[in-house]
Amino acid sequence: MTDELIVTTEGAVGRIRLNRPRALHALTVAMCEGVLAALEDWRGDDAVRAIILDHAPSPDGDPKYSRGFCAGGDIRLLAESGAGDGSAARHFFATEYRMNHRLFTYAKPIVAVMDGVTMGGGVGISQPARFRVATENTRLAMPETGIGLFPDVGGGWYLSRLPGRIGQYLALTGHRLDGAEAHALGLATHYLAAGRVEEAKAAIVADPTAIEMVLDELAAPPPAARLLAERQAIDRLFASDELETVFAALAADDSDFARTTLATLATKSPQTMKVSLRLLKEGAGMASFADEMRQEYAVASRVVQRHDFLEGVRAVIVDKDNAPRWDPATPEAVSDHVIDQIFAPLPEGEAWVP
């Protein structure tokens, strides 16, 4: 185990708490391995009836570091590896995706408490859970196109199954959903006031057979989901799976929403926006979550070594100038051939397996 992950049992409930507060609980390989080990230990243990997955509070109480749930993955490791032979990055993705798949297929009920930042890898560990709790603190997003990545950890599966074209909008823009919006879209099963979260956990520990009843009783009516007011515009403007057509539709629209959205997309990697659209198009027809993970691993193992990811990390995380120089710089310059290469299946023996 690792200090970055706290694994305990309370009564008949297995507890997994992410514990990297100063990194907003971003996942490391060791954390993913720890989650896998805990799930395996509890899989055949009849004394454990349910799992709660949440984050530990900041030990010094500093509110700056109390905004978990999980901000993503170990981006610096991925970038350093991607600049070399990529082997450590591939190991990270393989382990993380096995964890995602194990959570997705786990027989015992899992409660994911998304009380805070839930981005990238945080989406990957919460969405497979049977019960997903949002609060007024929830900020759920897949912002990867801003650093030259794509919405992985099952993003092609989850986002492609959202209503209309909202998944495509979220994948390209990285828009942050609040708890009410996450609930309205089905990304959260319950909306609770943050002040009642600990009460909910205690009640689940007291009776893990009554999870749904506990959450139903403690749930609060969520505020209006503001993004849904733009549903018709999103469905119309993001109707195409061709990025150039999306840009043209936004440019031709005179609304504030279209202008703001077009300005947002202008800051994202054209290459990984095209990757994202294809990922969702193919993800919608995937026969199983394992098939989705296999495809995402092939894509991730290539994207992590391409220019845009290394440049995105430089601009957003290292130098923090927020001025990435994407290459290619426009949607038109990203060829179908390049996208086909990124999506090509890996050779037998290199492909991801559960």
Q: What is the pLDDT of residues 293-314, one digit of tens each?
A: 999 999 999 999 999 999 999 9
Q: pLDDT exceeding 90 applies to what percent of the chain?
A: 94
Provide the token pair at 74. Answer: 């170990």
Please return the burial class of 194, using the count of CB atoms within 10 Å of its CB with bins 0-12, 13-18 and 19+.
middle
Q: What is the pLDDT of residue 6?
A: 96
Residue 83 has pLDDT above 50, yes or no: yes
Q: Return d(Cα 27, Cα 341) in angstroms, integer.
A: 28
Q: What is the pLDDT of residues 110-161, one digit of tens each?
A: 999 999 999 999 999 999 999 999 999 999 999 999 999 999 999 999 999 9
Domains of the chain, each with CATH number or no CATH: 1-141+186-224 (3.90.226.10), 145-165+228-354 (3.90.226.10)
- For residue 5, give the H/E element and its range: strand 5-10
Q: Return d(Cα 345, Cα 279) in angstroms, integer.
A: 13
Q: What is the pLDDT of residue 284?
A: 97
Q: Do 16 and 55 touch, CB atoms closer than 8 A? A: no
Q: pLDDT exceeding 70 applies to what percent of the chain?
A: 98
Q: Do 73 and 59 touch, CB atoms closer than 8 A? A: no
Q: What is the pLDDT of residue 112?
A: 98
Provide the token pair at 192. Answer: 């609770």
Q: What is the pLDDT of residue 65?
A: 62
Q: What is the pLDDT of residue 188?
A: 98
Task: Find the mean pLDDT for residues 259-270.
Answer: 98
Task: Find the mean pLDDT for residues 22-35.
Answer: 95
Q: What is the pLDDT of residue 224?
A: 96
Rg of the chain on CA atoms, in Å: 20
Task: Find the mean pLDDT for residues 222-245.
Answer: 97
Residue 267 has pLDDT above 90, yes or no: yes
Task: Find the mean pLDDT for residues 228-237.
Answer: 97
Provide the token pair at 102. Answer: 């194990």
pLDDT level of residue 197 (50, 70, 90 thresholds): very high
Q: Which residues are catalytic?
A: 73, 121, 144, 152
Q: Do 13 and 51 touch, CB atoms closer than 8 A? A: yes
Q: What is the pLDDT of residue 243?
A: 98
Closest CA to 134 of 193, 175, 77, 82: 193
| Cα distances (Å, whole numbers) of residue 53 to 3, 130, 257 | 16, 11, 36
How many C-beta atoms surround the C-beta of residue 39 within 10 A?
21
Average pLDDT of the residues of the chain: 96
Residue 1 has pLDDT above 70, yes or no: no
User: DSSP letters of 280-327?
Assistant: HHHHTT-SSHHHHHHHHHHHHHHHTTSHHHHHHHIIIIIS-------S
Q: What is the pLDDT of residues 102-119, one digit of tens each?
A: 999 999 999 999 999 999
